[in-house]
């Protein structure tokens, strides 16, 4: 009979074999510290038009309401760091996480053999996996499980690895030895706060309604004129707060073939971006996260940059 520590070690070994950058475990329970912060964030409408963020409030704060009898939350990180590769420095910019195949699809496939191992070794375990989806406060669990701390820009930072990684979770009714939570190492640094062109970042908080990623992806209406001249040429997502973070000097390139960008995409000139047809959009972004904004959304973003 394996102990909770031995079970945890077995799961972590498999996670690393599958290519995950980090794997940590936390005891499932109510996120007491996060509850008032989430409530205030929603009350101040900093989620903008992301109405789904206000749904399932109780479930977001307690994974035991997501998976009945949940005892543990496994948090995993998967590297996507790619040095910027767009060849035309004047071209509209694309967040590096969107260079390759949609990470939701990639990570869900990576999680399947991990869950299969859990079932094979420990029997009928009740569990659910999440990849930036569902009512799960992934950053809170990543910090609690020791994967990394939540920086002043609210992204998770890991010592020796930076912050260019995706997060995903497995919530399960299996008792596992928890890891100690990660400690904060931002110190007095405020580079991410000072660098944000739309003033979306406050220490350990982000006004989602002002974030360039929100404005170029989540917002469905016209981008408010208040942000004209402040988008820094970003047309899908934004990497500024991560680019200026000193911890990302430790980032190393990913080894995931599906995250490799298409040479044609990286070679687009500014004129080719602005003249892109829907046919070209569908070809370049097939299977990509950029599909979320759709052709009409991308054209809106490109048009706003030219105003």
Alpha-carbon span 91 to 88, nearest angstrom: 5
- Active-site residue flag, 132: yes
Catalytic residue, from 102, 132, 173, 221: name it.
Answer: 132
Q: Specify the 3-state DSSP secondary structure of 135.
A: coil
- Cα 162–219–48 angle (5° rounding)? 80
Provide the phi-psi class of 30: left if phi over 0, else alpha when psi is between -120 and 50, else beta: beta
**b (16+ CB within 10 A) / e for 25-40:** bbebeebeebbeebee
- Provide the β-strand partners of residue 77: 22, 167
Mapping DSSP to helix (H, G, I), strand (E, B) and coil, where does residue 206 land?
strand
Q: How far apart are CA 99 and CA 82, in angstroms?
A: 8
End-to-end Cα, the chain, rounded Å: 66
CB 147 within 8 A of CB 15: no
Residue 192 vs residues 130, 166, 182, 201, 207: alpha-carbon distances, Å: 28, 19, 20, 7, 14
Strands (E), 179-226: 201-202, 205-206
> Annotated catalytic sites, by residue?
132
């Amino acid at each position: 009979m394996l102990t909770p520590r031995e079970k945890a070690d077995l799961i972590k070994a498999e996670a690393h074999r599958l290519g995950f950058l980090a794997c940590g475990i936390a005891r499932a329970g109510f996120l007491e510290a996060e509850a008032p912060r989430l409530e205030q964030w929603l009350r101040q409408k900093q989620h903008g038009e992301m109405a789904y963020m206000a749904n399932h409030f109780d479930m977001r704060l307690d994974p035991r309401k997501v998976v009945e009898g949940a005892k543990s939350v496994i948090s995993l990180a998967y590297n996507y760091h790619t040095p910027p590769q767009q060849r035309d420095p004047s071209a509209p910019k694309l967040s590096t996480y969107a260079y390759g195949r949609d990470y939701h699809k990639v990570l869900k496939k990576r999680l399947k053999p991990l869950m299969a191992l859990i079932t094979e070794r420990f029997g009928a375990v009740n569990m659910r996996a999440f990849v930036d989806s569902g009512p799960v406060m992934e950053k809170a669990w990543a910090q609690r499980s020791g994967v990394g701390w939540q920086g002043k820009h609210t992204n998770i930072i890991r010592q020796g690895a930076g912050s260019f990684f995706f997060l995903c979770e497995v919530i399960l009714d299996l008792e596992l030895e928890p890891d100690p939570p990660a400690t904060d190492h931002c110190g007095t640094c405020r580079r991410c706060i000072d660098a944000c062109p739309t003033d979306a970042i406050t220490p350990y908080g982000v006004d989602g309604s002002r974030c360039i990623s929100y404005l170029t992806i989540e917002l469905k209406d016209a981008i408010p004129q208040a942000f004209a001249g402040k988008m820094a040429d970003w047309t899908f997502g934004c990497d500024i707060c991560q680019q200026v973070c000193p911890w990302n000097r430790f980032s190393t390139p990913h080894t995931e073939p599906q995250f490799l960008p298409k040479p044609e995409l990286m070679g687009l000139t500014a004129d080719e971006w602005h003249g892109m047809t829907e046919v070209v959009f569908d070809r370049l972004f097939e299977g990509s996260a950029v599909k979320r904004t759709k052709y009409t959304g991308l054209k809106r973003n490109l048009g706003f940059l030219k105003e």
